[in-house]
Structure formats: C-alpha cells, structure tokens
Amino acid sequence: MEVKRHRRLRRLAPDAELVRRRAAGETLRALAADYGVAHTTLGRYFARAEAVRQLREAGQSERRAAATRRVAERRAERAIRRQAKEQATLAQAWTRAAAAASSAPRATPFCL
C-alpha cells in the first residue's frame, strides 16, 4: 500500500478559524477570497484526511454549541413568559383594587 503524499501549501496558512467557518457551511469561494487563494486550493486541502477529521470534529462541536444555545433560549423564553404572566396578574390585582377603592362610599367631613 502506497502512502499518498500531499503537496506543500505555499500560500494557504490553514488555521482553526478556516476549519470552523467551513464546518459552519461557508462556501469555498468565500473562504478563498478571504485567505487569498483559489477555491480549488481549498478544495484540495479539505480533501485531505487530516482536514476531513478536523471538519468532522468542528461540525460536532458546532452542533453541540447550537444545541446548548437552543436550550438556553428555551429557558430564557420560559422565564420571560413566567415573568409576563406574573406582571399581568399583578396588573389585574391593581386594577381590581383601584376599582374597589373608587366605588367605596367616602366619608364626608363635617363643616361647622
């Protein structure tokens, strides 16, 4: 079995941000413009076994982060709804109290 050698990357300096952006679904052409290389260069780079593994790991961590964000958003939404319900209940109580106070008979002072 022959081990396939990869050409040296002359202009591309891959970093974690490149892998993260690609895992997030950004196109090769958009990434290539930012990194100053051809999109085919990025295609060949991401075809390497090491890059495939990095993309898979980045995709998994991206999915975990998205799931964590969704859970946090749901918790915040529930807290906001609970707070709004409490405020509505308090407003109704204040309205009832004000209505009761205005309909109560008032004592008139004696004028001498």
Collapsing DSSP states into helix, strand and coil, what is residue 106?
coil
Is the entire prediction scored with pTM above 0.75?
A: no
Report the distance separating Cα 18 and Cα 73, nearest Å.
27
Q: Is the pLDDT of residue 79 over 60?
A: yes
Asked if residue 22 has pLDDT above 70, the reply is yes
Query: What pLDDT score does 106 carry?
Result: 65
pLDDT value of residue 94: 92
